Structure 1
Amino acid sequence: MSQLFTGFQLGDLALPNRMVMAPMTRVRAGADGLATASMAAYYAQRASAGLIVSEGVQPSLLGQSNPGTPGLHTAEQVASWRPVTDAVHVNGGRIFAQLMHGGRVSHPETTGLVPVGPSAVAATGDVFTPNGPRPAPVPRALETAEVPEQAWSYADAARRAIEAGFDGVELHGANGYLISQFLSTNANLRTDGYGGSVANRIRFAVEAVTATVDAVGAARTGIRLSPGGVFWGVEETEIPELYEALLTELARLDIAYVHVEATAEQDVLLGLRKAWPGVLIVNPVLPMGPKQAGQAEADHWLGLGAELISFGRGFIANPDLVERMRAGLPLAPVDAATFYQGGDQGYLTYPTHHYA
């Protein structure tokens, strides 16, 4: 039997398998960023995953990237998440909330606020708004004194996540959002202590993780990274040095895991595996790329030293992905047209193999 289907101890959590449901934006939240009954059903359907990482959850209104996404910055939002986490737990699952601050990847039509970023440099491409796609606006560059407040927003949301019943949180440090923007060399043109050198560019990420660890504990804190990723136009230089420096600092905090996307060459990722002494989750194919992760890719990275493997599109179309892969059953194809359209079609309507 593949190691993929063996148990794993992640801090205080006993995972029945090494399959992680990757965080995926589905824009099904209700008004004011509230979680819904459909979201509870969606995550409960997939509770056989060793660990679920939720869709990106904004830690503040300023941090909201897309319309239709949920938050964890009001008491009402906390209350709305409790039926979701309860449903996952009743069905035997475990779930972390992914905390996602969009930074410059946002729009005033979505939040009523001017987006912020490390520098006044717009993201590449159009961003989603309630009125359709709009060119990414130029963000307001954060003043030095304001930066810690944005780092603390992750910790504040983490406290609310635990109150809402989540087992832990994952900071979204990937894919061109705020933490990733600070790591970048073209989105971050700062000349203060948060820009320029590798040590300065990792500072915001380290402060955000440190604040979260102080808030909810290291065993309940993870982070997702996309080394060398170019999402929303971010660019990075000195990639091995940048991420080795970041992982060295994160290792001192003894966090639950680092979740890495396959956005760099394998030899670069293997170097990071050597630099990171803790639990490593690998998303083994390029997110939203042409290839979908399967058993072969999972076994390959388990053989290279990853402890856990995350799957995205496979879990969308196959709520029973673990059971299908364990039994060698065919996987249902995913309908990309329903990723973000809202409603239950393409959300709750994928059957298990027994009913397909």
Structure 2
Amino acid sequence: MKSTSLFAPLNLGKQQLSNRVVMAPMTRTRTSAGDVPNELMAKYYGQRATAGLIISEATDVAPHSKGYLWTPGIYADEQVQGWKLITRAVHAQGGKIFSQIWHVGRMSHTSLMPDGQQPWGVTDEQAIGSDVFAHGSDGKLTFVRASQPRQISTDEIGTLLEDFRRAFQNVAEAGFDGIELHAANGYLFEQFMNATLNTRTDDYGGQTLENRTRFLLEVVDIATEVLGADRIGIRLSPFGHYNSIPDDPHGEETFFHLITELNRRGIAYLHLLYQLLPSGNMEQVTKFEETNLPEAFVSKLRAEFDGAIIWCGSFTKESAEQALATGNVDLIAFGRPFVGNPDLVARFKNNWPLVVADRSAYYTRDGETGFTDFTNFDPLVAETAH
């Protein structure tokens, strides 16, 4: 019988999580020069370590994987040392933290790329209508239209695989408990998997199931060699159109082929966007669409995948427990509620009020403001205030 409580423990691979509340990956743009994680970020993650699992903000595997300013990397020694501050802070509070690893593919801008080169695209098709976080023409931080990409060669895909291998080795060195591959939201992995967008004609082309999923599965196999399958999670966004991903008539077929292969490899979990995102970017999303993943789809996934399943997308405590009661999901990820509520688990458990953080502080460079200056709820202070 599946537990319906957010506060029940769960075995994830060989690791035990203290509850079913996951802190979702959220870009916060607080790194130091060189995309190096720092003490301020360690404080931020440490404050939130009562989550059953923290999934870090998206982390670049190489300089050419970058699509947003001030996002952390894990390809340089200084970055690894910075991440050690964070994993130690989380572990000191008894928490678990996975590193979310990504490559944005075409979702970048020439100003973010080494030597101003074009973004690395699966094809040369531009993400019309989607933006990335960079310096505008006036020098201010803002969202700018993604640049025209160039199609990377088959040989460069081999280079990418080695970039991921180095990243996984660095993840282990930094002390993370595992990784989550960001294969959702229109970034590189999903660009390969989309049969409409992927018009390549090599072994990674979109004509067959095997070719569309080849790159992701090769990366999973490398991660398994370095870390072990039980320390691997994958984030996916079936039926999504975020970052200008087009309709794909083969999307569900590709998804379940991938699930069969991932299940055979024994990875720890799948992390799904349960409520679908529109085609724009996160800064344009004030709420998720009302469209959820179809019930037949999630039931089939539950039957075909043996690992844990995470859902995310505008959940409340009440809707999260309703979701757990279906038996189709094991953990619920919360993003924005963790911004203003470092003690979110305790607030849920005790039915304490939640703080709604001001969105204007999500991506600031103002030190602790809007980042680590939120406090835990104190019932004695609240009682005195009344």
Fold shared by both chains (TM-score > 0.5): yes
Query: Cα distance, 1:152 vs. partner?
Result: 3.5
Q: Is the 8 A contact 1:28 1:69 kept in 2?
A: yes
After TM superposition, list the pairs within 5 Å mapping 1:1-356 onto structure 2: 2-112=4-114, 113-124=117-128, 125-131=130-136, 132-194=142-204, 195-235=206-246, 236-262=248-274, 263=276, 265-267=293-295, 268-283=297-312, 285=313, 292-304=314-326, 305-343=328-366, 344-354=368-378
Any unmatched runs of 5+ in structure 1?
286-291
- Report the number of matched residues: 349
CA distance change for structure 1 residues 198 and 300 in 2, over 3 Å: closer, same or farther?
farther
Secondary structure of the residue aligned to 2:298 is helix
Q: Is the 8 A contact 1:108 1:115 kept in 2?
A: yes
Distance (whole Å) between structure 2 residues aligned to residue 155 and residue 281 of structure 1: 25
Q: Is the 8 A contact 1:156 1:215 kept in 2?
A: no
Query: Cα distance, 1:4 vs. partner?
Result: 1.1
Query: Cα distance, 1:174 vs. partner?
Result: 0.5
Question: Residues 35-77 of structure 1, C-alpha deviation per residue, up to 9 Å, x if partnerless?
Answer: 0111000000000000000000001001111110100001111
Distance (whole Å) between structure 1 residues aligned to residue 233 and residue 310 of structure 2: 10
Q: TM-score when scaled to structure 1?
A: 0.94
Q: Is the 8 A contact 1:243 1:272 kept in 2?
A: no
Q: Is the 8 A contact 1:41 1:348 kept in 2?
A: yes
Query: Cα distance, 1:13 vs. partner?
Result: 1.6
Secondary structure of the residue aligned to 1:71 is coil
Secondary structure of the residue aligned to 1:85 is helix
Q: Is the 8 A contact 1:220 1:256 kept in 2?
A: yes
The letter of the residue matching 1:20 is V
Q: TM-score when scaled to structure 2?
A: 0.87
Distance (whole Å) between structure 2 residues aligned to residue 149 and residue 302 of structure 1: 41
Give the match for residue 288 of structure 1. Answer: none
Q: Is the 8 A contact 2:4 2:324 kept in 1?
A: no
Query: Cα distance, 1:210 vs. partner?
Result: 1.2
Give the match for residue 289 of structure 1. Answer: none
Q: Is the 8 A contact 1:26 1:342 kept in 2?
A: no
Q: Is the 8 A contact 2:270 2:309 kept in 1?
A: yes
The letter of the residue matching 1:299 is E
Q: Is the 8 A contact 1:115 1:139 kept in 2?
A: yes
Distance (whole Å) between structure 2 residues aligned to residue 335 and residue 237 of structure 1: 39
Distance (whole Å) between structure 2 residues aligned to residue 58 and residue 265 of structure 1: 29
Query: Cα distance, 1:164 vs. partner?
Result: 0.7
Out of 216-225 and 270-279, give the one that drifted further. Answer: 270-279
* % same residue: 38
Query: Cα distance, 1:156 vs. partner?
Result: 1.7
Q: Is the 8 A contact 2:35 2:71 kept in 1?
A: yes
Query: Cα distance, 1:2 vs. partner?
Result: 4.8
**Greater Cα radius of gyration, structure 1 or 2:** 2
Q: Is the 8 A contact 1:259 1:281 kept in 2?
A: yes
Question: Residues 131-173 of structure 1, C-alpha deviation per residue, up to 9 Å, x if partnerless?
Answer: 3433211111111222232234223211101101111111100
CA RMSD of aligned residues (A): 1.6
Secondary structure of the residue aligned to 2:57 is strand
The letter of the residue matching 1:127 is V
Question: Residues 182-210 of structure 1, C-alpha deviation per residue, up to 9 Å, x if partnerless?
Answer: 11234311122212222221111111111
